Amino acid sequence: MTPLGAKLRKLRAERSIALKDMAKALNVSSAYLSALEHGKRGKPTWFMVQRIIAYFNVIWDEAEEIQRLAEISDPKMTIDTSGMAPEATELTNVLGREIARLTPEDMKAVRDEVMRRAVRSKP
Q: Pick 123 or 118 by higher pLDDT.
A: 118
Q: Give the type of residue at 57.
A: N
**For the residues 60-78, what does the mean pLDDT come to?**
92
pLDDT, the chain, mean: 93
Give 7's pLDDT tier (boundaries 50, 70, 90): very high
- Does residue 72 surpass a pLDDT of 70? yes
pLDDT at residue 123 in the model: 66
The torsion angle over the Cα atoms of residues 36, 39, 40 and 43, rounded to 10 degrees, is 60
Please list, residue by residue across 2-39, b when 16 or more beta carbons sit within 10 angstroms of its beta carbon and e when fewer do: bebbebbeebbeeeeeeeeebbeebebeeeebbbbbeb
**pTM of the predicted structure, to 2 decimals:** 0.76
